Chains A and B, each alone.
Chain A
Amino acid sequence: MAKVLVVTSGKGGVGKTTSTAALGAALAQTGQNVVVVDFDVGLRNLDLVMGAERRVVFDLINVIQGDAKLSQALIRDKRIETLSILPASQTRDKDALTAEGVARVMQELREKFDWVICDSPAGIERGAQLAMYHADYAIVVTNPEVSSVRDSDRIIGMLDSTTEKAKGGGKVEKHLLLTRYDPARAARGEMLRIEDVLEILSIPLLGIIPESEEVLRASNLGAPVTLSSPDSPPARAYAEAARRLEGEKLEVTVPTERKGLFARLFKGRN
């Protein structure tokens, strides 16, 4: 049974696309069939972060409008055979996404893949709503700062009310992915503490991704950070998050202010 996952946040620039690519690659590396779907119609980026931008011919909108078959729009990753990407259209806007069209595509993806990971656009409008509508699981990407936390709170409310699951009386399983976490700045009190974020959002923690230049380097290379530098702290944090998604009970290794522990966990960064 396929699992549909939405990576969402409300706020822009917190790391949705980076996280989608990194988690998608990490899950696919275990041999499972994974597709990452770019819902950011009009501002597509996932193809760039995945390094597939030179092979885009058809996109999600073409499939929704029946101009192309799903198999024509899916791009197989060159590094991992079990990883595919369904790109968004850059020349259209979110109005081109129809509820019925998205439902049809999601159903078809569920039949083909083990994991369907939807990269939501920022905001709470149509694009974001359609990205989350069919989700079984949600990864709420949040930065440790007040505006991001408040936007995430809003998104969690929407996950609990406007999704297909919620309308059917069920619940979307929600996980918090804390990204761009800088332990040094947190120690100086310049960032929200993890406990504070968890207390406000009160959803289970999937992982903490430390702020790292590796992430920026990876997206410029067009490779998920879990592939470009698998030993880097963010890549290892993503890999562990992926294992937790698969149900493994791993303690979240919080890069706390205790330098010793942090240095041991993520060598080479403090």
Chain B
Amino acid sequence: MPDELRPTPKIRARGRSFLALVLSPEPMLADWLAGLDAQIARSSTFFAGKPVILDLSLLNAQTEGLADLYPALRARGIRIIGIEGGDTSWPACAQWDWPAGFMGGRASGAVEIPEDSAPPPPEAPRGSSMIIEQPIRSGQVIMNPDGDIIIVGSVGSGAEVTAGGSIHVYGALRGRAIAGMNGQPDARIFAQSMQAELLAIDGYYITAEEIDPRYVQQPAQIVLSNDTLVVQPLVPPAFAGRKS
């Protein structure tokens, strides 16, 4: 079929409306930014993914700190899609990356900024365990500040596992294990084959050299007792006495 006979495809567009937020900074920009930071602290995700129009009508070319306003907002993850009430000719704004403005738009009143539901409880509940079913390779860092880490597999030399709670390794522990990272002295480290490079609980640590060779490559657990890390063979209590 010759080209001219082929129908030009028709492009369809659909409409979608977003509510853009309009921010109107006020003089004493440092104070205004501090207020914004406080707001973000209370409602961390409020600006995430939201288009923002920056309204400069309360400011003028001489406002102190104006040049840094745009970068400061960008640094806070605020996505500015338009700037109004200002002038590109203001020297302080010359370096700004002025977005192409939008036409139209309808004012829709003040937007309530929701507050994050109650601040996180001071004692994070234990129990949000992390279960990993593959070997941890050298150089990998696994971290679960809130709870235990359970690894069904081995931890390679040069890998690092850090948990707020305990660490369980159903395999060989050849890397580093750091348990009780947020100050939980009752956290423990368990390994099916103890070959760790470094063991730490609640900030107290021992290196491989300090592990009793009797427990190396054996099932073992590490507990913190009187600020000292103690390596114990992992034997069920009923059989412990009968160990030859």
A: residues with CB less than 8 A from B are: 42-44, 53-57, 90-91
Contact (Cβ within 8 A) A57 B139: no
**Closest Cβ neighbor of A78 among chain B residues:** B209
B157 within 8 A of A: yes
Give CA–CA (A92, B73) in the complex, Å. Answer: 31
B172 within 8 A of A: no
Contact (Cβ within 8 A) B197 A53: yes
**Closest Cβ neighbor of B211 among chain A residues:** A54
**Closest Cβ neighbor of B209 among chain A residues:** A54
8 Å CB contact of A90 from B139, B207, B209: B139
For the side of the interface on B, what is the size category? Answer: 10 to 19
B141 within 8 A of A: yes
B: residues with CB less than 8 A from A are: 138-141, 157-160, 197-198, 205, 207-209
Q: Which residues of B contact A54 (CB under 8 A)?
A: 197, 207-209
Give CA–CA (A90, B158) in the complex, Å. Answer: 6
Contact (Cβ within 8 A) B197 A56: yes
User: Beyond A53-B197, A54-B197, A56-B198, is A91–B207 a contact (Cβ under 8 Å)?
Assistant: no
Contact (Cβ within 8 A) A91 B209: no
Q: Sorted from nearest, which 3 A-B pairs have the closest CB atoms?
A: A90-B158, A54-B208, A91-B141
Nearest CB on A from B125, distance (A): 28
Contact (Cβ within 8 A) A55 B158: no
**Closest Cβ neighbor of A44 among chain B residues:** B158
Give CA–CA (A91, B175) in the complex, Å. Answer: 11
8 Å CB contact of B157 from A42, A53, A55: A53
**Closest Cβ neighbor of A54 among chain B residues:** B208
Give CA–CA (A266, B175) in the complex, Å. Answer: 40
Q: Which residues of A contact B159 (CB under 8 A)?
A: 90-91
